[in-house]
Amino acid sequence: MANSGLWVGVLTALTALGASYLTSRATFRAALAQSRTTTRAEALREQHERRRSSYREMMNCVHAFNEVTWQIVDVDATHDRESKDRLLSQMYERIGPAIGDMNKAMHEVRLDGPAEVSAAADHARDMARHVQSLLEALIGDDSPEGRDAYDAAYRDFREAYVTFIGLARGALEVKDEDS
């Protein structure tokens, strides 16, 4: 009888050790899964904040560019050619640095992605460069064709910028994985 009591004790001890081992493995796996989930959530939050910051910088640079282009209204209100050319020259001098800043911001967007937002930022910057070249062409030009080309280029720029905004907004949306 003493032998069977010993066997029951050994089996009970082995069962307890096995249960303890299985419990510790399950606890370890749960902790590991939680750690991975937390790390991933933190990385996604950091990515979201970097993107938001770079998209905002791009938008600020576009706004600075627009502040220059909106001065075309002042040019239109001026009637003598010399004053128009002076205002256009001032606009042209200010638009270059605005595009330079936009270029820097576009590279930040390119770094933070995603690719479609980067491409949209690049396209908006390219359209801004086109507006710049047509602005320069307006200096000394009284033809309505030159102004029409400038206005069309500005509309193309605005369309590219609105596309960028839409894609940037979409990239920042938090998607529910259960949906």
Domain 48-172 has CATH 3.30.67: no
Report which of 165, 100, 160 is spatially closest to residue 127, judged by C-alpha positions.
Answer: 160
CA dist 111 and 152 (Å) reads: 30
pLDDT tens string 82-110: 999 999 999 999 999 999 999 999 999 99
pLDDT tens string 36-73: 888 888 878 888 889 899 999 999 999 999 999 999 99
Q: How far is CA 13 from CA 4, 7, 42, in A?
A: 14, 10, 43
Predicted model pTM: 0.75
Domain ranges of the chain: 48-172
